Each structure stands twice: as structure tokens, then as C-alpha cells.
Amino acid sequence: MIDKERLETILNNNHKCYGTANLILESKLVKELNGIIKKLNDEVDVLVVKNDALTKQKEYLQSKLREKEITKVAKTTDGREMI
């Protein structure tokens, strides 16, 4: 993030004059950084989707396990132990 002093310097140009080359360089750097940020955000989005899918799969498997345990308990109510 740009600080207040640097912003004032860029806008006023009275205290310190930026050359055209420096402004072009800064512009290119900003564009490059924005591209990197976009790429990283896209990667995060992919990871979030994968995480959601894994969470749903985990919940499904847990529900199946609970069903199996309930069935096992129901079958053992006659006093015999299931193996």
C-alpha cells in the first residue's frame, strides 16, 4: 500500500520530480504485481473448491459410518456379540 508522503510527492511533483521512465517502470511493476495477485487468488479459489468437495466427502463417509454402527447395535440387541 502506498503511504501518504509518497502519494503527496507523486501528486505534487514540487518536492521531488519523477521522471517518465520511473513512472513507466512503476506502472509495469504494478501491472506485474496485479497479475501475480490474480494468479494467486485463482489458486486459492481452486483450493477452496477442493476443500469444499473434501468436506462433503468426509461428511458423507461419517454418515455412512454412523449408519453402519447403528445397524451393528440393532443386530446385537438379542445379546449376541457381533464380530
pLDDT in tens, 19-78: 787 888 889 999 999 999 999 999 999 999 999 999 999 999 999 999 998 888 877 766
Domain ranges of the chain: 4-75
Residue 15 has pLDDT above 50, yes or no: no
Q: How far apart are CA 2 and CA 74, in angstroms?
A: 67
What b-and-e string marks burial along 23-40, b requiring 16 or more CB atoms within 10 Å of the CB?
A: eeeeeeeeeeeeeeeeee
**How is residue 39 written as a grid cell?**
494468479
Band of residue 6 on the pLDDT scale cut at 50, 70, 90: confident
> Cα–Cα distance between 35 and 17 in angstroms, integer?
28
Q: Mention every residue, 6+ apart, whose C-beta is less than 8 A from residue 9.
A: 15, 16, 18
Residue 36 has what pLDDT? 96
Q: In this predicted structure, what is the pLDDT of residue 21?
A: 76
